[in-house]
């Protein structure tokens, strides 16, 4: 099998890349180890920055986002019995969209299949062979058969546990990592949202987040210990802890549609390319979800890589491709800083005492009362700081 660009992974990064290339007349094949149903149902993040939404619109896949996405002008910060609205529209002149990552994935898969592009589901990439620019290939298995996909370029968009990251690490790439001592227990529930916009709550018992997917469905998170399992969290305990930390005593305990625990870490790989192998999205970097940046970074990498490949095929110039790592890392490190900042601002570490608690309250007070500090939060959250 032969294609110009082999793309490993059908998440937001791999799918947007395939779609942008297709629109420019460049063929590719997407290899995805899971089935279509699985990737379309996997519940993930849900916030699109103005820039992420714009990328989808420009790529011609923004119609459903514009119809069904929830446009928010800001977020709420709750702490110490107070609630404060940070008005992004006023402070940074742009808002955000709440739209589930699996909806973005569904839209991109539909567009890809409608245009006749190839996605091989249940096709697992096993090895990247890229030592020689003239003999690039990905070895993969599908239905028990081993096959080789020959190509000019390989885009590893295969997430943090894929072979892209492992391949780069076996060479000279460096991974910079920070592990947080906590995780998020997340539920998707058939409960009308208790607020009109996202509520980030800092409580002495730990962080909680109230997000949503529709007027009937809420997405809610609780900070838990990193090593915690769901065994210790029967539904009643989840709801009572959410009500307490979010200050929403009447939050309705609706049917839980999905539940999971995600440990939190920050990770950046440098460089994000080696020869004709390029990493995009989670394969190259991870952010803790508190800054709502994961999906946006994945889409931005894909757009940057697509522009480089389009220039290479159109003008035979590698200028943009050569600058790929540098272009991405500036945005990535800014998002890493903001995500770590939001995480440390809003989470309670088990080792923290009263002193750290009071420091956090002082910082929250500042962020919500100083125009400069709240503008900084708004610029970073909406992506205005990086575009
Ligand atoms: N072969 C083929 N596919 C693979 C392989 C492999 N060896 N390993 C992983 N995959 C697939 C996974 O099944 C997944 O569908 O690669 C895809 C990677 O997609 P995502 O994890 O969604 O990564 P990305 O596109 O970078 O999007 C990042 O996802 O985790 C969230 O918060 C994160 O919002 C961010 C987004
Ligand atoms: C979500 O809706 O899933 C969500 C929202 C904001 C975050 C993280 C996740 O910071």
Write out pLDDT tens, residues 191-238: 999 999 999 999 999 999 999 999 999 999 999 999 999 999 999 999
Task: Please tell me the predicted confidence (pLDDT) of residue 201.
Answer: 98
Cβ contacts of 318 within 8 Å, gap of 6 or more: 308, 312
The helix or strand, by DSSP H or E, that contains position 277, with its residue range, turns out to be: strand 277-279
Closest CA to 97 of 38, 59, 55: 55
Indicate the average pLDDT of the chain.
Answer: 96
Q: How big is the CA angle at 365 (ends 361 and 367), to the nearest 5 degrees?
A: 115
> What residues flank ligand 2, with Cβ below 6 Å?
45-47, 198, 209, 211, 219, 289-290, 292
Q: Is the pLDDT of residue 379 over 80?
A: yes
Q: Is 203 a catalytic residue?
A: no
**Minimum-distance ligand 2 atom for the alpha carbon of 43:** 3
Report the candidate in 327, 6, 354, 384 with the shortest Cα–Cα distance to residue 163. 6
- How many Å separate Cα 376 from the centre of its chain? 21
* Active-site position among 210, 293, 324, 347: 293
CB 83 within 8 A of CB 77: yes
Q: Which domain holds residue 242?
A: 180-264+348-382
CB of 45 within 6 A of ligand 1: the answer is: yes
pLDDT of residue 54: 95
Q: Which runs of consecutive H residues, i.e. helices, occur in 260-323?
A: 294-315, 319-322
| CA 356 remoteness from chain centre | 29
CATH number of the domain residue 354 falls in: 3.30.9.10
**Same domain membership, residue 234 and residue 167:** no
Residue 262's pLDDT is 95
The reported pLDDT for the residue numbered 131 is: 82
The bridge status of strand 256-270 relative to strand 285-286 is: antiparallel
Residue 386's pLDDT is: 78
Do 28 and 113 sit in the same domain of this protein? Answer: yes
Q: Tell me, what's the pLDDT at 350?
A: 85
User: Is residue 200 annotated as a catalytic residue, yes or no?
Assistant: yes
3-state SS class at 223: strand
CB proximity list for 237: less than 8 A, separation 6 or greater: none
Q: Ligand 2, from 209, 295, 381, 383: best to mutate by most atoms within 8 Å of Cβ?
A: 209
**Number of domains observed in the structure of the chain:** 2
pLDDT confidence tier of residue 321, bands split at 50, 70 and 90: very high
Pair 189, 255 in one domain? yes
Q: What is the pLDDT of residues 138-181, one digit of tens each?
A: 999 999 999 999 999 999 999 999 999 999 999 989 999 999 99
Hey, how many other C-beta atoms are within 10 angstroms of the C-beta on 142?
A: 14
Same domain, 257 and 333: no
Tell me whether residue 89 is in a domain.
no
**Pair (26, 118) in one structural domain:** yes
Q: For the segment 115-138, what is each residue's pLDDT rounded down to a tens digit? A: 999 999 999 999 999 888 888 999
Percent of the chain with pLDDT over 90: 95
What lies within 8 Å, CB to CB, of 180 at 6+ separation is: 226, 263, 264, 265, 266, 288, 343, 347
Q: Answer yes or no: 293 catalytic.
A: yes
DSSP structure class, residue 348: -
Residue 140 token pair: 């993969």
Q: Are residues 210 and 235 in the same domain?
A: yes
CA geometry: angle at 218 spanning 285 and 207, to 5°? 60
- pLDDT tops 80 at residue 294: yes
What ligand has the least distance to the C-alpha of 217?
2
Within a domain: 147: yes
Q: Are residues 231 and 169 in the same domain?
A: no
**Closest ligand 1 atom, residue 126 Cα:** 7
Task: Note the pLDDT of residue 165.
Answer: 97
CA–CA separation, 242 and 238 (whole Å) = 6
Ligand number, closest to the Cα atom of 292: 2
**Res. 387: pLDDT tops 80:** no
User: CA-to-CA distance for 157 and 329, rounded, in angstroms?
Assistant: 16
Whole-structure pTM value: 0.97
Give yes or no for residue 12 CB within 6 A of ligand 1: yes
Whether residues 361 and 223 fall in one domain: yes
Question: Do 203 and 311 belong together in one domain?
Answer: no
Domain-located, residue 132 = yes
Q: What is the CATH number of the domain that holds 279?
A: 3.50.50.60
Catalytic (active site) residue 72: yes
| pLDDT score recorded for residue 385 | 80
Same domain flag for 207 and 126 = no
Report pLDDT for 133: 85
Contacts for 188 with CB less than 8 Å, ≥ 6 apart: 43, 213, 217, 218, 219, 256, 257, 258, 259
- The question of whether 381 is a catalytic residue gets the answer yes
pLDDT band, very low/low/confident/very high, at 351 (cuts 50, 70, 90): confident
Distance CA 368, CA 58 (A): 34
């Amino acid at each position: 099998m032969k294609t110009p660009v082999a793309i490993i992974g059908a998440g937001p990064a791999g799918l947007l890349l395939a779609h942008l290339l297709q629109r420019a007349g460049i063929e590719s094949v997407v290899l995805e180890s899971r089935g279509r149903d699985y990737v379309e149902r996997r519940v993930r993040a849900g916030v699109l920055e103005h820039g992420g939404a714009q990328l989808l619109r420009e790529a011609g896949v923004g119609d459903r986002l514009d119809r069904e996405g929830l446009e928010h002008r800001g977020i709420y910060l709750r702490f110490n019995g107070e609630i404060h609205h940070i008005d992004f529209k006023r402070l940074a002149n742009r808002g955000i969209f709440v739209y589930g990552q699996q909806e973005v994935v569904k839209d991109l898969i539909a567009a890809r299949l409608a245009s006749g592009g190839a996605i091989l589901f249940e096709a697992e990439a096993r090895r990247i062979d890229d030592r020689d620019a003239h003999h690039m290939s990905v070895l993969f298995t599908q239905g028990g058969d081993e096959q080789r996909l020959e190509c000019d370029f390989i885009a590893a968009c295969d997430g943090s546990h894929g072979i892209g990251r492992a391949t780069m690490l076996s060479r000279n790439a460096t991974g910079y990592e920070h592990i947080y001592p906590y995780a998020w227990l997340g539920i998707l529930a058939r409960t009308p949202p208790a607020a009109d916009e996202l509520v980030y709550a800092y409580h002495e018992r730990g962080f909680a987040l109230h997000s949503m997917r529709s007027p009937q469905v809420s997405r809610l998170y609780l900070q838990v210990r990193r090593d915690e399992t769901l065994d210790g969290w029967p539904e009643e305990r989840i709801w009572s802890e959410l009500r307490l930390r979010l200050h929403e005593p009447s939050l309705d305990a609706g049917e839980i549609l999905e539940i999971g625990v995600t440990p939190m870490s920050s990770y950046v790989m440098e460089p994000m390319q080696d020869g004709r192998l390029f990493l995009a999205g989670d394969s190259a970097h991870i952010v803790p979800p508190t800054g709502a940046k994961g999906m946006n970074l994945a889409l931005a990498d894909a757009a940057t890589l697509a522009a480089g490949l389009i220039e290479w095929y159109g003008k035979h110039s590698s200028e943009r491709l050569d600058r790929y790592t540098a272009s991405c890392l500036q945005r990535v490190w800014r998002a890493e800083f903001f995500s770590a900042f939001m995480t440390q601002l809003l989470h309670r570490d088990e080792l923290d005492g009263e002193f750290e608690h009071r420091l956090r309250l002082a910082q929250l007070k500042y962020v919500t009362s100083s125009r400069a500090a709240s503008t900084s939060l708004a610029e970073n959250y909406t992506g205005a700081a990086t575009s």
